[in-house]
Structure 1
Amino acid sequence: MPLVSSNYNPSFLFKNGFFSTVYSGLYRKVKNVSQTRERITLSDGDFVDLDWSYASKPTSKLIIVLHGLEGDAQRPYMLGAAKIFNQNDVDAVCVNFRGCSGEENLKYHSYHSGETNDLKEIIDNILASKSYDEIYLKGFSLGGNVVLKYLGEGNDIPNQVKAGIAVSVPCFLYGSMLQLHMFKNVLYHDRFKKHLMGKLKVKHKLFPEEISKSEIKSIKTLKDFDDVYTSKANGFIDALDYYAKSSSLQFLQSINRPTLIINSLNDSFLSKECFPFDVAKTNKNLFLETPKYGGHVGMYAKNGVYYNEMRALQFIKNKLE
């Protein structure tokens, strides 16, 4: 307790984790979500762009949605989350992490799996400028790790933050790194690396004193990328230090807000440590649901509303009403 039984049982094709992941990432379309962009300045002088969508009537409730590695606020899973909450009288703000809104961020460092300070500043900014009594956090993949780490690492969490949801979350980063380097995930690995390397080359042009061309050429894998850039740019010793300090798994026991983790058993990105059954059994605030199917952020449902979207809404209603 609380381990949550799952009734997610998709049609035949979507029982295949690869098909479910690829279809949901590349082919899903979410329509009729109207977003308005707000740029906020962070304490270090950098910026993040927030994309807002609103319920049809004034509300005191808000969901903050965080994307995954190399995602943005317009990814289908982000729009799907915003849409269902907007339809149920909750405003939504989809966060673009630094450098992910279509415009390069101003600093050499950017976002990463354990960067919770930006989330703190976003929440503080919202509370200072807007009137919300209830705030919910929902993160996908990397964004899910940020949500869980923020909720469990000892932050002074505002009373308005009522609940969290993390979907397809690699809460043990080292294990997920090993998974992504396996042959079964080579297409995902290479796609992520291509996007990250493109951004790093732009960083080199803007900050040639920070990284050399030879260092960039030495990067062959995602772990290499984290050794050369992610760790060094963000104050870690190396990739392993970054994974160890940024993994949310070590903070789950301390979460004191109702929080739901939905990790599919056929998610090829996740190692066995990313299914924290033991912690969920001992922390009354942590709810773990492990559907047999769904792949990585790919919980398709026939009505166009994905399973994780329905479950997030249901979870919040059940825990807070």
Structure 2
Amino acid sequence: MGLFWLVPVLPSSGMGIYWSFPIIIFWMVLRLLQVLSSPEKPKLYYRTSGSPFIQAILESCPILTQIFRPTVLWGKSGHFQTVVHVKMGRTKPRWPDSQRFHIPMPDGATMSYDLFDPHEEGHRAKFTLALCPGIANSSECIYLRTFASYAQTHGFRVAILNHLGALKSEKLTSPRIFTYGGTEEYSRMVDHLLEQYPDTKILAVGFSMGGNIVTKYLGESLDNQKKVLCGMSVCQGYEINEAKVLFMQWSNLRRVYTYLMTLNQRRLLSRHRDFLFSKQAQEKCGTFREKDVFSATSLLAVDENYSRIRAGFKSAYEYYRKHSSAYVLQNIKVPMLFMNAEDDPICPPSLYKHARQFAEKTENCIFMTTKHGGHLGYFEGGLLIPDNVTWLDRVIIEYADAVTSLYLCGKLPQQTSSLLVSSGDGEADDIETTFDSGISDLSSWERKSASSEGSVSPVSGVMASVKDVADNTKEKDEEKRDSLKRGSLLKQASTFVQ
């Protein structure tokens, strides 16, 4: 019954039986590729009353309000977007130069991340995009390397976390691998970046499972939010127990994707099997059902027989709830951009309610859905061969540009007011942030630019206006009424710093 949607209306004549089968096959191909589906603008969800920050972002990020045009012949299919991303990736670029750091963790594990320096010095070199990959991924994945190269050309420094156990060339030093919502490694990477570059400002970016980790990292602690300018999450599922039920369904072939992800997880565990399932590991953590793990056909079976035991939970339900970002969203006050595709075959729209509800009642958050894109695909351009830089790459960089420009103008929300976070008793605590105005950074860069060119910087008039705005930040009511003026100012500042 579920396949009837594929079948066109056939003629009732006798000859119809002869040529109907090629029509059925052709129709099925068309439906699978979704060639006839028309591209659309992204749908944006945010607090209806708006905020100066949201207005400035929408003004500075035209890509958020423009039509996303996938690759013509196959890009409108969420399945093809997802499969091309996973199996083929993008045109393999020249591997950008990087430096790998290894850092010991308190439990004996050794986390690592790769650092990619910007191609040229400029005002964006002081900003670092801290990337958290998808499940079982590392800095050696092509999609992450390609994005890192693209970000480098735009002047950003990039750091990419390597999930524990994901690197084939490195052995574990503690009997554990990554978890769906474990933030310890990502937190240590951010801290190490700040130790190495005390003046850098962090922009947190997460893909799929990494989006869940980044969101959870920000929501767990106000101190974590003080370390970043903003967060960006792409194609995450928000609540793992809800996703678990969907993963076991055949609808949109999710059961097939789940099986493939399970095989990948089993391969990773098998690579470190002697260490992870050693007698010492099980004496410390509990008895793993090793046979059931390596015969599992679902991630739930792997987690029930290994992951939740290793993490010390009585059930997979408790393990998933603890690792889901949906339960800490309300604690996030720094700017956030959540992105999902409506044709994502792995994380379907029914999971998006958490991000949408949060965005609609929070001043500094945008939740965006696209009609096409699949799971981390977002390939665009061309008839058959897509552009090497994806629409997703461009969105992240454009949003990062807007946020950093706002920071340089001293106009990020956390620069103009203190953060309000919920305390244990449900009441709000007013806590001062540690963010500086950002204007001094732009001023020093202006002086450097002027001296190197031997002329007066063209930003002098803009700087005067920026300082005037900064001097009036305490007059909040006036700021709200003057939001359009600030948006215009942001455009001027952005024009210069680019």
What is the TM-score when the length of structure 1 is the normalising length? 0.92
The aligned counterpart of 2:117 is: 54
Query: Which residue type is aligned with residue 154 of structure 1?
Result: S
1:273 aligns with 2:342: no
Distance 1:25 1:195 in 2: 12
Deviation at 1:48, TM superposition (A): 1.6
* Equivalent-residue separation in structure 2 for 1:155 and 1:229 (angstroms): 32
Does residue 290 (structure 1) correspond to residue 375 (structure 2)? The answer is no
Which structure 1 segments of 5+ residues have no match?
none
Q: Secondary structure at the match of 1:15?
A: coil
Q: Which residue of 1 aligns with 2:217?
A: 150
Question: Per-residue displacement from partner, 1:11-39 (whole Å, max 9, x unpaired)?
Answer: 33111000011112221234132233221
Determine which structure has the larger helix proportion and give its number.
Answer: 2
Whose relative contact order is higher, 1 or 2, with alpha carbons under 8 Å and at least 6 apart? 1
Say which SS state the counterpart of residue 373 (structure 2) adopts.
Answer: coil
Aligned mates of 1:213, 1:292 — CA distance in 2:
41
RMSD: 2.0
Cα deviation, residue 9, structure 1? 2.5
Counterpart CA distance in 1 for 2:362 and 2:143 is 28
CA distance in 2, matches of 1:306, 1:223: 32
TM normalised by structure 2 equals 0.61
Partner secondary structure for residue 136 of structure 1? strand
What does 1:1-321 align with in structure 2 at a 5 Å threshold? Answer: 2=46, 7-12=67-72, 13-27=74-88, 28-32=90-94, 33-58=96-121, 59-102=125-168, 103-157=170-224, 159-183=226-250, 184-206=253-275, 207-209=277-279, 210=282, 211-216=288-293, 219-271=296-348, 272-275=350-353, 276-302=355-381, 303-321=387-405
Kindly provide the amino acid, as one letter, of the partner of residue 245 in structure 2.
Answer: L
Contact 2:194/2:200 (8 A) holds in 1: no
Letter aligned with residue 69 of structure 2: N
Q: Distance in 1 between matches of 2:370 and 2:227?
A: 30
Q: Secondary structure at the match of 2:212?
A: helix
2:180, 2:212 within 8 Å by CA — same for their partners in 1? yes
Which amino acid in the other structure matches residue 71 of structure 2? Answer: S
8 Å CA contact 2:166, 2:268 repeated in 1: no
What secondary structure sits across from 1:263 in the alignment?
A: strand
Structure 2 stretches lacking a partner, 5+ long: 1-44, 48-63, 283-287, 382-386, 406-498
- The DSSP-based 3-state class of the residue aligned with 1:156 is helix
Query: Runs of at least 4 residues of structure 1 off by over 4 A?
Result: 3-6
Paired residue secondary structure (2:377): coil
Contact (CA 8 Å) 2:161, 2:186: kept in 1 or not?
no
- Deviation, 1:158, is 5.9
Question: Which residue identity does 2:93 align to in structure 1?
Answer: K
Cα distance in structure 1, aligned partners of 2:240 and 2:195: 33
Q: Deviations over 1:254-297 (max 9, x none)?
A: 21111111100111111412342221101122211100100000
SS of 1:92 mapped into structure 2: strand
Residues 5 and 237 of structure 1: CA distance in aligned 2, closer, same or farther (over 3 Å): farther
Write the distance in 2 (CA, Å) between the matches of 1:217 and 1:49: 27
Does 87-96 or 204-213 show the bigger shift?
204-213
Deviates more, 1:219-228 or 1:155-164: 155-164
* Deviation at residue 216 of structure 1 after TM alignment: 3.0
Structure 2: distance between partners of 1:15 and 1:318 = 28
Checking the alignment, whether the CA contact within 8 Å between 1:24 and 1:297 is kept in structure 2 is: yes
- Tell me which moved more, 140-149 or 122-131: 122-131
Q: Is the 8 A contact 1:152 1:255 kept in 2?
A: yes
CA distance in 1: counterparts of 2:278 and 2:259, whole angstroms: 25
**Alignment partners' CA distance in 2, 1:263 and 1:25:** 17
* Aligned-residue offset at 1:114: 0.9
Q: How many angstroms apart in 2 are the aligned matches of 1:42 and 1:29?
A: 35
Any conservation in 2 of the 1:266–1:293 contact (CA below 8 Å)? yes
Q: Displacement of 1:62 after TM fit? A: 0.8
Shift in Å, 1:227: 0.8
Q: How far is the alpha carbon of 1:6 from its aligned partner? A: 6.0
Moved more, 103-112 or 152-161: 152-161
Deviation track 1:293-318 (CA, whole Å, cap 9, x = no partner) reads 00000001233211111111111222
Deviation per residue, 1:116-155 (Å, 9 max, x gap):
1221111112211233421111111000000011111224
Separation in 1, partners of 2:231, 2:146: 17
Determine the C-alpha separation between the residues in 2 that align with 1:311 and 1:219: 37
- The residue type paired with residue 212 of structure 2 is N
AA aligned opposite 1:236: F
CA distance in 1, matches of 2:66, 2:337: 12
The answer to which of 269-278 and 136-145 deviates more is: 269-278
Q: Is 2:85–2:376's contact at 8 Å kept on the other side of the alignment?
A: yes
Per-residue deviation, residues 211-268 of structure 1 (Å, max 9, x unmatched): 3544435633210111111111112222111111111112222211111111001111
Q: For 1:268 and 1:40, how far apart are their aligned partners in 2?
A: 36
Structure 1 CA distance for aligned equivalents of residues 181 and 325 of structure 2: 8
Q: Using the alignment, how far apart are the partners of 1:308 and 1:132 within structure 2?
A: 28
User: Residues 52 and 223 of structure 1: is their aligned pair in 2 closer, same or farther, counting only changes over 3 Å?
Assistant: same
- Cα pair distance change 1:219/1:297, threshold 3 Å: same
Select between 103-112 and 161-170 the one with higher mean Cα deviation: 103-112
Aligned-residue offset at 1:81? 2.4
